[in-house]
Structure 1
């Protein structure tokens, strides 16, 4: 099974963490499996914007953003061009490592 590394960087000053992700896992799955706090009010089904992250490296290796995901990102706090929903960032076969920036978790989207 193919794996990649996901490096989580934090805006609140926590040290970065790198964890292994298997093909088919989402960034949200990897965060939760490694006790990284990441809001996910809809349960990770692309039904809200609370798992909003910024992809700093490896975005070309992720599935293309859907219209539905784009609509929810527009509702997120401080969306940027590199914004994604962690539940939709699924590791693909043969992908490169990812680096993501976690927004502060005291602000929730919709």
Structure 2
């Protein structure tokens, strides 16, 4: 089974955290399993924009963005070219991933 490191960086000033992720785990899964607050109003089924993150490194080893995910990202707070939904960023490669978490004190769509 492939494993990679996911490093979480925080816009609210918390120290970076790095955690191991197994193939098939999503960024959302890894965050929640390690006590990192990442909103997920729909339960992680690509039905909202609350688990919005920025992928700073490792995007080539994540699944390609779907039309549905892109539609929800358009509803996220401050979307960027490297925006993804944490529930859709599933580990599938060998490259470590770096994620920037936006502030989490908002109500999502």
Please state which band the TM-score falls in when normalised by the shorter chain. Answer: over 0.9
SS of alignment partner, residue 78 of structure 1: coil
Q: Give the C-alpha shift of residue 95 in structure 1.
A: 2.3
Deviation track 1:73-109 (CA, whole Å, cap 9, x = no partner) reads 00000000000000000000x4200000000000232
TM-score, normalised with respect to structure 1? 0.97
The alignment of Structure 1 onto Structure 2 pairs a total of residues equal to 109
Asked whether the equivalents of residues 53 and 84 of structure 1 are also in contact (C-alpha less than 8 Å), the reply is: yes
Asked whether the equivalents of residues 4 and 22 of structure 1 are also in contact (C-alpha less than 8 Å), the reply is: yes
After TM superposition, list the pairs within 5 Å mapping 1:1-110 onto structure 2: 1-92=1-92, 94-110=93-109
TM-score, normalised with respect to structure 2? 0.98
> What's the RMSD between the two structures over aligned residues?
0.6
Q: Distance in 2 between matches of 1:108 and 1:64?
A: 26
SS of alignment partner, residue 43 of structure 2: coil
- Structure 2 residue ranges without an equivalent (≥5): none
SS of alignment partner, residue 12 of structure 1: coil
SS of alignment partner, residue 87 of structure 2: helix
Q: Distance in 1 between matches of 2:94 and 2:72?
A: 25
Q: Give the C-alpha shift of residue 67 in structure 1.
A: 0.1
- Structure 1 residue ranges without an equivalent (≥5): none
